[in-house]
A and B are shown apart, each in its own frame.
Chain A
Amino acid sequence: MNKTKQTYYPLEEALIEEYGKKAAAWTEDELPGISKLRHEAMREFRKTGFPGNKLEKWRSTDMEPVYQEPLSVFTDEITYDKKIDEIFQCDVHGFQARVLSLLNGSYYGPEESQLTVSPEGVIAGSLLAAQREYPELVEQFYGKAKTAVADGFKSANKAMARDGVFIYVPDGVEVKDTFQLIKILNKKGLMVHTRNLIVLGKNTKLTFLHCDDSVNHHEGFINTLSEVFIGENSELELYKLQNLNDETALVNQTVVHQAANSRLKVNVMTLNGGLVRNEIVDQMDGEGAWSDINGLFLIDKEQHVDNQVYVYHNVPHCESNQLFKGVLDEQSLGVFNGFVYVAPDAQKTNAFQQSSNILLSRDAHIDTMPQLEIYADDVKCSHGATVGQLDSDALFYLMQRGISFEDARMLLMYAFADEVLGQISIEPLRVNIEDMVKRRLRGELSICDRCVLHCSHPDKPIEFDIDLSKI
């Protein structure tokens, strides 16, 4: 598509206008390299605009209604006036996390803790602050991640994103605490852009929990891009937990580069969200890299979840697994597009891909596209996709033993979801999420004005009403 766009949607116009107003001022406190990238990205954005559903990768996800909404592109800085706990509380029983928060697109924290350095040398905090303090480090990695398919959201993000989270783990450090990123919108009608940069040195380990939550029922639009670089022999566990209101749209892109013998584990859990698009790109650049990318989405009403996973086996001797499961009810629409690329000479590659989906209602809709592109012969690649309903034999079996239809159905759905949930290795987190899934399946979990995790009471576990004496 080399054609230059003729007319813009209101949101595109707002974005271009905001850029015009702010760009000059931004150059003052950021790296010249970043300003240059910004400028180039804006030029690209003017050409393409936001992606329309004519593009192959956007065929199943039509975002045009969002482009028409009267959202304001928000890039103002936020002043810290009250503790994050007062806006939002996240309280997982028995779960210790180092919390980093982004409020309306900016890093939110007191002046003195914009960027902290731990005794081992782990740097964590605002990306904007990191540009001042560690320009070489940021310059080395910022904007270097290779995305899979270029589109308007990526260029918009590059052009507009000012702040985000920066984490640097130096060689040889295993970070014990889990880092948790909380991203909140608390004003009406905002479109925000954020950008995160996570760099792991050699022989390191990090667990990162990335939460997208809504604290109210206002509409909003988040466009976020995370660049992740994993060094040799390092391990990253990345959890994405999405529980947004039905009015919010989220475009979430993560690009990971893996060096030799590194391990990546991703779990994407979408429990609620108006329109969610997750794009995960895994670039395997070093031999012996391993990755496990799992996802679960439970959606209903008119929600829309689109998961796009691209795994690039660029070198030999790597292994990747993808498992995505979806339960769709009412008028919801789910999309899974998995893509595995095996480069020429990337021999001894193992790649597996599985997408399973359950449709619960007549109006739910699922599109799944598990794709393979392979240019080497000594590989083992397979993929599978299934779409169906709950197994009627299994239902019958349970009901025959005196379990009510409702409970039997719930039990089977929970069992279906558990294959993904079981992969969560942080015990308290797993218990909480399992609990949330149970509530979600029963229709009890809804977005409240505090964190969803706060709602759950793992000490009072949800029981299925099963009369065990009858089994």
Chain B
Amino acid sequence: MTDEKNEKQVLHEVTSGEYKYGFFTNIEADQAPKGLSEDIIRFISAKKNEPEWLLEFRLKAYRHWLTIEEPDWALLHHPPIDYQDIIYYSAPKKKKELSSLDEVDPELLDTFNKLGISLEEQKHLAGVAVDAVVDSVSVKTTFQDTLKKHDIIFCSFSEAVQDHPDLVKKYLGSVVPYTDNYFAALNSAVFTDGSFCFIPKGVRCPIELSTYFRINAANTGQFERTLIVAEEGGYVSYLEGCTAPMRDENQLHAAIVELIALDNAEIKYSTVQNWYPGDKNGKGGIYNFVTKRGLCKGNSSKISWTQVETGSAITWKYPSCILLGDNSVGEFYSVAVTNNFQQADTGTKMQHLGKNTRSTIISKGISAGQSNNSYRGMVRVGKRAENARNFSQCDSLLLGDKCGAHTFPYIKTNNPTAIVEHEATTSKISDDQLFYCQQRGIDMEKSIGLIVNGYAKDVLNKLPMEFAVEAQKLLAITLEGSVG
């Protein structure tokens, strides 16, 4: 059958797009020696001029990390990670304090331009404040003036430690304690920078805040930490993007994101993750082990996670919500795309503790090539969570006959008034849909693109406008080669 052959060929073409962000910027970096020890932690802490309590926190985390083992329950296979072969601190060399965009290293600006996030353009046109993190150190935050007017604090984590130590001390580790898991302990010990955002009482953040993470230097790990606090009635929408250059070795990324929403506050956290996934033969790529958790501490608070995961050789990530306040709401929308030899084990955890808490989970997995894509999620309804409501839908789409799609939902219900529903389907693109499109003169390649985009629409719609555009493009690059 020529048609079948054709289809296979197109599928092959659309699933063999190459990584387009694989450039390497030659920025001079200030690095720590390889390896991990208490001395390295002291070195990082000293470099960043940190107060004593933070060093203590790091050391406690490190000592705890030494006592625990790497988790092996995820459906992931990788050679053992040598934690002594990683550079835990790498910063672009700073010449002096920067006060305007013009002073930012032009090569760095160029990097951002290649990424399609021109700071300049976004500053004027999109009204997005960007905090860019390259190799663990936050470079520049735009739009400080507008934010200042509203008393919003948005700065790099190191600045926050210097300028707002009380706030950091109060909330750091309150959602993800260093004892939480192996990678959280590692991050707590060696985190270098990240973003800090504080929305005071009753303030709606007028612009969308954004951070770009990028791993640049070879052999470095990126360990950033994001902390967002929204006080009573506050609102913020936060965007996070990630990219890394092509390298043969595997690089490690172990981040922590903590969100705290007090009464009536809302936090919307969107991620487009496009770390280098490794080449077509599965060589290289980022190991992405991330702990993300939001705490709906106050009544009627809301936390919403949206993620588009297209990159990384390995993704191990479960953005979760603890619904502690009464009437609080948790949401999780995810599109995870894996291709070639990528492996993703991602999902969420919804812990219903307060009364009338609601959560929604929409997860769309797309696997192609020889990749494996798993959804792993847990919905737990505590004893006091009256009238808790959850709806989960996890769909998997298989492109090609060598890939795998897996679903591991855990539902634990401890209250009779709870209503919990879970649905999942696994299938390939239906021949009827393809036929329907082609019959109307759309070629095979475009049809697949159309169907895949339509499939992921539920989630893409939840992304802020410009991220949605970028996410669609990313879907196209990761999956579709030339298909738009």
Contact = CB atoms under 8 A, between A and B. Distances in A.
A367 interface: yes
3 smallest CB-CB distances across A and B, nearest first, come from A377-B398, A359-B416, A385-B422
B251 interface: no
Interface in B379-408: 383, 396, 398-408
Given A362-B383, A384-B422, A374 B416 contact: no
A56 interface: yes
Interface of A: 56, 60, 344-345, 347, 357, 359-362, 364-389
Contacts of B421: 384-388
B466 interface: no
Given A377-B399, A381-B426, A369 B411 contact: yes
Contact of A374 (B396, B409, B411, B423): B396
A384 B401 contact: no
* Size class of the contact patch on chain B: 35 or more
A371 B422 contact: no
A357 B427 CA distance: 26
Interface residues of B: mostly helix, strand, loop or mixed?
A: strand
B406 A373 contact: yes
Given A372-B426, A377-B399, A377-B403, A365 B409 contact: no
B424 A382 contact: yes
Nearest to B380: A367
A385 B426 contact: no
B422 A389 contact: no
Nearest to A364: B416
Contact of B416 (A360, A373, A385): A360
Interface of B: 73, 75, 383, 396, 398-428
B414 A373 contact: no
A374 B408 contact: no
A388 B420 CA distance: 6
A371 B401 contact: no
Nearest to B375: A372
B424 A384 contact: yes
A387 B405 contact: no
A375 B369 CA distance: 11
Nearest to B386: A362
A255 B413 CA distance: 29
A359 B424 contact: no
Given A377-B400, A387-B420, A367 B411 contact: yes
Given A369-B409, A374-B404, A377-B398, 10 more contacts: A366-B412, A367-B413, A370-B409, A372-B426, A374-B396, A375-B404, A379-B428, A383-B423, A384-B423, A389-B417
B421 to A, nearest CB: 5
Nearest to B422: A385
A362 B413 CA distance: 10
B122 to A, nearest CB: 40
Contacts of B383: 362
Contacts of A388: 418-421
A378 B405 contact: no
Given A374-B404, A377-B400, A389-B416, A368 B426 contact: no
Contact of B420 (A373, A376, A379, A385): A385
A373 B405 CA distance: 6
B420 A56 contact: no
Contacts of B414: 365
A372 B418 contact: no
Contact of A383 (B400, B407, B412, B418): B407
A376 B424 contact: no
29 contacts: A60-B412, A344-B402, A359-B413, A359-B416, A362-B415, A366-B411, A366-B412, A367-B410, A367-B411, A367-B412, A369-B408, A369-B409, A369-B410, A372-B406, A374-B396, A374-B406, A377-B428, A378-B401, A378-B428, A379-B427, A381-B426, A383-B407, A383-B422, A384-B423, A386-B421, A386-B422, A388-B418, A388-B419, A389-B417
Contacts of B415: 359, 362
Contacts of B406: 371-374
A382 B393 CA distance: 11
A313 to B, nearest CB: 12
Contacts of B425: 380-382
A265 B24 CA distance: 60
Contacts of B407: 370-372, 383
